[in-house]
Structure 1
Amino acid sequence: MAARPPPTAKSSTPPAPAPEGFAFVELAVDAESGTEVARTLAATGFAHIGQHRSKPVELWQQGDARVLLNATGSSRAAIGAFAVETGDPEGAARRATALLAPALPRTRGAAEADLTSVAAPDGTAVFFCRTGAADGWLGDFILSGSPGPDRTGITAIDHLALAQPFDAFDEATLFYRSLFGLAPEHDAELAAPFGLVRSRAVTDPRRTLRLLLDGTVLRRGAWAPAVPDPQHVAFATGDVFRTARVLRERGAPVLDVPANYYDDLDARLALDPGLLAALREHNVFYDRDGDAEYFHLCTGILGSRVFFEFVQRSPGYHGYGTANAPVRMAAHRAAHSRARGSGHPG
């Protein structure tokens, strides 16, 4: 009788956790950029609701969108970390360990949450969190306020755009696929003021966690030495025009969109004149896919590389307004050049 083959060993790697969105995004700031970012957050309706118990980290919140400002380093505003909301952060940490994701050391006080973080290929720290838990990460903060009334319509973080070293672009895709099951959804190559940009969107099947991975093939031009590859935090809003009005009233640094963008938009899409006028008045970008629409507006660059975006997507729209990216990048370049000409350190 032939011997039976040995049973196939089952994988000991825990399954990918189901992401439930972003728990927070953390911006590394210095004294100058921290003031600028905090002022912009306040102008966009965020409230400073807490201070970390043992670190120079502020907690800002509006709706379910939470932004941490970490002043422990010397960065002129950059996305240093983000946290994935999941019902099983321990399982996510075990999966990261099994996949040999590089664990990051973390100084933790006696009464602070035991959070696990790993390093993405670009150095971004990725945390696993359960915000509503009794021992959750919010307990690390001394709360001094609440998010307050909904003034601008911001509800959550829609997506993050992370600049990737070009030689780590595919590695980053594999990292997020392995860790969270995020699959590539859109790929594009865009002409930027500083060279060709490769952009890839990755998301989970339910589209609760959206990331844009951007990499520059070759940097060139006068803007390149002064401005690192930009990153942005996109906040979801239920009414982009309401958001735009409040931003204007509060003096937020909204990016000026060139008039010829709207002339081209009208020629291509033949929009309703009232809608086109509202887009033009409020510096709002527009895209659509069939009947599904996407509205978005941006701030100027904060510090040296970060900006905020405010997006309203209708059901069925799963893109990121990629067709508008070259215009947005050119507008940021123009704003940066004006700031340098006026002596502002933008």
Structure 2
Amino acid sequence: MTTVQGLAHVELHVEDAHKYATGLHDHLGFTLTAPAAVRPGTAQVIAHQGAVRHLITSAVDPEHPVADWVRRHGDGVAVLVLRSADPAASVERAVAAGAVELDEHTVLGALGDLALRFTAADDLLPDGEPAAEGPLFELDHLALCVPAGTLGPAVRFAREGLGLAEVYAEYIEVGDQAMDSAVVQSPDGSVTLTLLEPDVRRSPGQIDGFLEAHGGAGVQHLAYGTRSITAAVRELADRGVVFLTTPGAYYDRLAARLGPTAIPVEELRAHHVLVDRDHGGELFQIFTRSTHPRRTLFLELVERRGAGTFGSANIKALYEAVERERAGQEG
């Protein structure tokens, strides 16, 4: 039986919920809503746009577990809330696969301090609250970094504990750095996790840096689906979002590599958007610059025109973009 039937929402633990939520509103166009009930000892705000739901939580009491999470990891994704027809059975399945039960609906699996909560609820929004429109319409995927030697166990837990399937795997080399990656996905495609593990035989890179700064495994980036990536880049840039850049040589080689693309090469070049193609169609992607004090969590925009995978060339180009950003800030 498939356990996971969708991603209900993502909960972020942060130092100041209202300040963080205001940033999502101002820079990314999220609508902010007060929850119907606030968890005791916390301040909480719902940020929503299209089908994306985020619950932003901070602690009122410095001894609250949320405050402890933030001290260890900084602001970040703390809980994935997964839809399930039978949350109790989902917890039982996850525990049988090695998870630790935190409460009747929540477990810690093989993903560090990232908790998994199961719910039968359809929506986080209070009754009668309308969905908000904006440049982002869904959460395409989440990328998680895991320590060396733990990618295999994480994939096994996703498969056996959550009912996800491994749909993609690749070893990626960039200069003297390298990483292993695997993508696990629910059968209906509504939940997609990209898992990244550093190759410690090679020089340290961004995955190693994330694991050190975050304090172990965790969510490196959230990827939002857009219906027009170039329009979204323009709108969000006007709101103050800074996107990572791509060298002109990448676009100079595009025509020879892919031929004509759905978005003209010069438009992609102007917005620093990457493109790749699989058997289903084309995939367009771009990363934002991280504004996190620890330079861990950042965001991605994705537009899919039929593509169901991630594209080998895009993965490498995105990795290189982050490395250029790291080198620039460290230099």
TM-score (norm 1): 0.78
How big is the shift at 1:220? 3.2
Instruction: Confirm or deny that 1:209 pairs with 2:199.
Output: no
Q: Residue 93 and residue 272 in structure 1: after superposition, are their counterparts in 2 closer, same or farther (change >3 A)?
A: closer
Q: Which residue is 2:10 aligned to?
A: 25
Paired with 2:223 and 2:92, the residues of 1 have a C-alpha distance of 29
Tell me the CA shift for residue 268 of structure 1: 1.0
Name the counterpart of 1:181.
Answer: 163
**Which stretch of the first structure deviates more once superposed, 208-217 or 330-339?**
330-339
Match in the other structure for 2:288: 299
Q: Distance in 2 between matches of 1:210 and 1:224?
A: 19
Counterpart residue number, 1:129: 119
Letter in structure 1 aligned against 2:31:
A
Q: Structure 1 residues 165, 244: CA separation in 2 closer, same or farther (over 3 Å shift)? A: same
Whichever residue aligns with residue 10 of structure 2, its letter is V
The one of 120, 134, 147 aligned to 1:151: 134
Q: Distance in 2 between matches of 1:330 and 1:319?
A: 19
Question: Is 2:103 aligned against 1:77?
Answer: no
Q: CA deviation at 1:300?
A: 1.1
Alignment of 1:311 with 2:311, yes or no, is no
Contact 1:77 1:305 in 2 (8 A): no
1:327 alignment counterpart = 317
Look up the SS of the partner of 2:100 in the other structure.
coil
**In the alignment, which residue of structure 1 is the partner of 2:181?**
199
In structure 1, what is the equivalent of residue 228 of structure 2? 239
Runs (4 or more) in structure 1 with deviation over 6 Å come to 222-225
Match of 2:91 in 1: 93
Q: Report the Cα distance in structure 1 between the residues aligned to 2:75 and 2:254, rounded to whole angstroms.
A: 33
Structure with larger Rg:
1
C-alpha displacement at 1:30, in angstroms?
Answer: 3.6
Letter in 2 for 1:189: Y
Inter-CA distance 273–171: structure 2 relative to 1 (3 Å threshold): closer
Question: What is the aligned-residue RMSD (CA, Å)?
Answer: 3.0
Question: CA 1:21/1:46 → structure 2, altered by over 3 Å: closer, same or farther?
Answer: same
C-alpha distance in structure 2 between counterparts of 1:191 and 1:180, whole Å: 30
Q: 1:193 & 1:79 partners in 2: Cα distance?
A: 30
8 Å contact from structure 1 (residues 194, 223) kept in 2: no
The within-5 A match list for 1:113-128 is 116-123=105-112, 124-128=114-118
Question: Quick one: structure 1 residues 34 and 234, their matched pair in 2 at CA, closer, same or farther if it must change by over 3 Å?
Answer: farther
| 2:51 match | 64
Unaligned 5+ runs, structure 1: 1-14, 106-114, 342-346
CA contact (8 A) 1:36 1:302 kept: no
Q: Displacement, 1:323?
A: 1.9
Residue 100 to residue 301, structure 1, CA distance change in 2 (3 Å) = same
Within 1, Cα distance between the matches of 2:102 and 2:81?
14
The alpha-carbon distance between structure 1 residues 323 and 62, as it changes in their structure 2 partners (threshold 3 A), is same
Aligned residues: 307
Structure 2 unaligned blocks of 5 or more = 59-66, 213-218
Contact 2:139 2:222 (8 Å CA) reproduced: yes
SS at match of 1:103: strand
For residues 19 and 175 of structure 2, what CA distance do their matches in structure 1 show? 28
> Distance in 1 between the 2:278 and 2:290 partners?
28
Aligned match of 1:8: none
User: Which residue does 1:254 correspond to in 2?
Assistant: 243
For the 8 Å contact 1:237–1:311, the answer to whether it is kept is: yes
Cα deviations across residues 10-52 of structure 1 (Å, max 9, x unaligned)?
xxxxx332x3321112333345x99578525532211222253
**Secondary structure of 1:253 counterpart:** coil
The CA deviation at 1:199 is 0.2
Identity, % of aligned positions: 26
SS at match of 1:69: strand
1:110 counterpart residue number: none
Q: Output the CA distance in 1 between the equivalents of 2:220 and 2:18.
A: 16
Aligned partners of 2:18, 2:329: CA distance in 1, in Å? 18
Q: Any conservation in 2 of the 1:201–1:213 contact (CA below 8 Å)?
A: yes
Counterpart residue number, 2:215: none
Q: Secondary structure at the match of 2:101?
A: coil
SS at match of 2:81: strand
| 1:205 partner letter | P
Contact kept, 8 Å, 2:49 with 2:134, in 1: the verdict is no
- Give secondary structure in 1 for the equivalent of 2:245: coil
Contact kept, 8 Å, 1:193 with 1:333, in 2: the verdict is no
**CA displacement 1:79-98 (0-9 Å, x = unmatched):** 32211123332332232344
Matched position secondary structure for 1:87: coil
Amino acid at match of 1:159: H
